[in-house]
Amino acid sequence: MIQSYRIDVYGIVQGVGFRWFAQQTANKYHLVGWVCNNSNGSVEMRVQGQETNVKAFIEAINQGPGYYSRVDKVLKHAVAPFESNNFAIK
């Protein structure tokens, strides 16, 4: 079943390659949507795809891209389905 979520990620997630990591991870799990930086230092995403793939994506996001990043909190909220054919960095 296709699921759609807004995901907000807090921690050290800007200026450390986090959006690129999110895009690569979304592509790995065949998800569509987008990722952008927020002015409060968090990263916001819209993610849509098969429920099992979204769960795997969120598990990977919780780990972060590596040494320079730190994920403190990930919030997930269901949203209405949206149209997209890729996962974009905004």
d(CA 44, CA 1): 23
Which tokens hold the place of 70?
A: 């730190």
6 flagged as catalytic: no
| CB contact burial 56-75 (16+ within 10 A = b; e otherwise) | bbbebbeebbeeebebeebe
- The residue annotated as part of the active site, out of 6, 19, 27, 85, is 19
70 flagged as catalytic: no
* Contact of 23 with 35, CB cutoff 8 Å: yes
- The residue annotated as part of the active site, out of 27, 37, 38, 53, is 37
d(CA 3, CA 22): 17
Which residues carry out catalysis? 19, 37
